[in-house]
Amino acid sequence: MTRYIFFSGKGGVGKSTMACATAIHHALQGRKTLIVTTDPASNLADVFEQEIGHKITPIPVGVIYPEGHRHELPLQLFAMEIDPDEAIREYKERIIGPFREIMPDDVIASLEENLSGPCTTEMASFDRFIDFMAGDEYDIIVFDTAPTGHTIRLLELPVDWSKHIEASAKGSGQTCLGPVQSIQDSKDKYDRATALLKDPARTDFIFVMRPETLSLYETLRASKELETIGIMSGEIIINGILPEEVCEVAFFRKKYEAQQKVIRDTELGISKPKRYMLLRDNEVKGIGALQAVADELFASPLSRGVRGVYPSLEKRGEGRFSDKKTIPLNPPLEEREINNLLLPSNGTKAIFFTGKGGVGKTTISCITAMHTAMKGFKTLIVTTDPAAHIGEVFDVKVNDEPSEIAENLFAVMIDQEKAFTEYKDRVLEEAREKYSEDMLAAMEEELNSPCIEEMSAFDKFIRFIESSAYDVIVFDTAPTGHTLRLLDLPFDYAKQAEMMIATAEAVEVKSDTENRFRKIIEILRNKEQSVFCLVLYPESTPILESYRAMLDLKDAGIETQLVVANMVLPEEVCVNDFFKNRRWMQMRYLGEIQNKFKLPVLQFPMMQDEIKGADALKIASAVLYR
């Protein structure tokens, strides 16, 4: 029977690389293997260096012999990137298709309108994902999932949607996904998927983490959260370990020792099998590099609390790019330019940070919030990321209501469950005096849809924008694909407001909703009121993902205004071939960032110590914003 392997973890830990290497390993063992990504900001194509898209695509794999020639094997590896737009089209057609021949055009048009809301977007991609858990065509299916908070949401969906369909069947017979009758098969499919996800004989969960405190914290939190819904994670991969022999200078020696402490804490705190992967001096891209990672990954002892034996640098072929030329870069931004971008001039300024998971968005957001607060502006930092850790960066507890954490600086973390309850109660309370009992009942049923959870968190998020209580609001958003989804919401819900039932009692609420979302859209598009900043590492995949995000934002009428290149290696500490190689790679990509984005670029260096607490953030602010 098909075996399912789920990869999860905090953004930027190397999840996709480990998933691709694992898929290659199984394919080379003669197992027919499919790798599927459910990440809205997928980078499978970038890692495999070939076009994939929303179709099952063969990936040629082979054995590379010592002489250097390659022997192609029969195709056993396939890949697919689920495209949300295509998934929506397929989902709608599956629901509506059977009615096209028997229903009049106006009824079909009405059905299509009902399936144009935000709920359908979330559900359609998931429905396509679940399809792969129904057949037995493959021996192994590897799921490269979105960063942890969104993965957990994804895995909770079959339970939530199954309950919603059940409840709607007893009520109106309608759901935001279509009539109960037409999606009853979906409920059965979700129930089967839930059973498979909980079956350790069929499903493995692998958490990928970096040897860093926040990554360990996230892995522990996510592992426990999955266990609460009956899903047991089976294995840990600790990725990006610094090789001891290249850490001769104090800067890297300190980082090496900090990593080793986290590895020991992981071995003591998580009693699951572990694999270990050393940091490489270049990017892992292409079949050859992935096969080398697979060889190393599966040669690593799978242990319970026992350190793996890491292969030597010589065996891994390091030291290839030690004499590269310096690449000219633009001069740093002047303080006046930075102030024009980040400081308010007329009303509240909203600053959005987005980018690929794990590139340091939260740290850069916290540094920026500290910077504007130190300039004397009342600042609020808000997180919408389910796996947020602004509290760990500030070294204070952050609550679901704004609280002061430093002079002029406030922080809040949106609690989705609480926001959902508040939103539902408020909407029903406001409607109680205006509408009939029948309409209230229909509204309550609609408000119990799982996709309203997404809207309720967003509603709280935009209330801070609408408020004039702060001079600056810094938004630490979720990884790119989910941020774009979040920013699509006012557009989606504005459309949904236009399609509301045109009864006399609905006219007022329809008008209010349209006007409110129109104002929000205007704020997001106004460069004086909203600043969109991309955070990235100077590496290929984060650059490609950020560039796609910039184009997607532009399609929505939103201009990106700043790029922050994070974790740039200081030249003075790169004294051996290993780190010279990595720094040269970064310099080459910094040049590409300038040419590709044509935007102001701020560089933030890799710091020797972890940025934690107000004093460290003040120092970091002076470094980033000079």
In sequence order, the 6+-apart residues with CB closer than 8 A to the CB of 242 are 252, 255, 256, 259, 278, 279
Task: Give the C-alpha separation, 204 to 141, whole Å.
Answer: 10
- The band of 110, judged by pLDDT with boundaries at 50, 70 and 90, is low
Quote the CA–CA distance of 147 and 84 in Å, as a whole number.
17
Percent of the chain with pLDDT over 70: 71
Q: How many CA atoms lie within 13 A of 554 on its CB side?
A: 9
Q: How confident is the model at residue 187 (pLDDT cuts 50, 70, 90)?
A: low
Query: Sorting pLDDT into bands at 50, 70 and 90, what band is 262?
Result: very high
* Domain contains 42: yes
pLDDT at site 250: 93
| Range from 89-98, 382-391, 499-508 that averages highest in pLDDT | 89-98
Position 78 scores a pLDDT of 94
Q: Looking at residue 177, what is its pLDDT?
A: 47
* pLDDT in the model for residue 39: 66
Q: Evaluate if residue 603 carries a pLDDT over 60.
A: yes
Range of the domain at 24: 3-83+125-169+178-306
Name the residue type at position 130: I
- Looking at residue 101, its pLDDT comes to 76
Residue 262 lies in a domain: yes
- Whether residue 395 is predicted with pLDDT greater than 70 in this model: the reply is yes
Q: Report pLDDT for 148.
A: 46
More confident residue, 626 or 34: 34
Give, for 175, the enclosing helix (H) or strand (E): strand 174-175
Instruction: State the average pLDDT for the chain.
Output: 78
Residue 370 lies in a domain: no
Asked if residue 424 belongs to a domain, the reply is no
Contact criterion met (CB below 8 Å) for 379 and 470: yes
Query: Of the candidates 412, 491, 485, which has an alpha carbon nearest to the alpha carbon of residue 451?
Result: 485
pLDDT value at residue 11: 67
Query: How many domains, the chain?
Result: 1
**DSSP per position, 266-323:** HHHH--S-EEEEEPPSS---SHHHHHHHHHHHHHS--BSS-PPPPPPHHHHT----TT
Chain segment 296-314, per-residue pLDDT in tens: 888 855 543 334 334 444 4
In a domain, 130, yes or no: yes
What is the band of 562 on the pLDDT scale with cuts at 50, 70, 90?
very high
Q: Read off φ and ψ for residue 325, nearest 5 degrees.
A: -80, 155
Q: Buried b / exposed e across 159-168, counting CB within 10 Å, b at 16+?
A: bbbbebbeeb
531 domain residue, yes or no:
no
Phi and psi, residue 198, nearest 5°: -90, 0
**Is 80 exceeded by the pLDDT of residue 290?**
yes
CA distances from 274 to 7, 151, 218, 300, 513 (A): 14, 21, 16, 9, 51
Q: pLDDT tens for residues 3-53?
A: 999 888 776 788 889 999 999 999 988 899 999 987 666 678 888 888 898
Instruction: Report the alpha-carbon distance of residue 297 to residue 210 in Å, rounded.
Output: 15
Find the CATH number of the domain harbouring 287.
3.40.50.300
How far is 124 from 517, CA to CA, in rounded Å?
24
Give the ranges where 136-249 is alpha helix by DSSP (H).
148-170, 180-197, 213-228
pLDDT of residue 22: 95
In terms of Cα–Cα distance, which of 606, 594, 610, 603 is closest to 625? 603
When mean pLDDT is compared across 56-70, 337-351, 429-443, the lowest value belongs to 56-70
pLDDT of 452 > 50? The answer is yes
| 530, containing H or E segment | strand 530-536
pLDDT for 331 equals: 78
pLDDT at 568 over 50: yes
Asked, for residue 154, whether it belongs to a domain, the answer is yes
CB of 121 closer than 8 Å to CB of 83:
no
Higher pLDDT, 493 or 424: 424
pLDDT of 5: 92
Residue 175, CB-side half-sphere exposure with 13 Å CA sphere: 30
In-domain check, residue 390: no
Tell me the mean pLDDT in the region 250-265.
Answer: 94
Q: What is the structure's pLDDT at 505? A: 47
- What pLDDT score does 473 carry? 94
pLDDT single digits (tens) 59-95 = 887 655 445 555 555 558 999 988 877 887 887 787 7
pLDDT value of position 167: 57
Give the C-alpha separation, 71 to 64, whole Å: 6
**CA 591 vs CA 326, 457, 597: distances in Å:** 10, 38, 10
Counting other chains too, the contacts that 159-163 makes at CB distance below 8 Å and 24 or more residues apart are 159/190, 159/194, 159/229, 160/450, 161/123, 161/186, 161/187, 161/190, 161/450, 162/187, 162/190, 162/191, 162/194
pTM: 0.77
Between residues 146 and 245, which one has the greater pLDDT?
Answer: 245
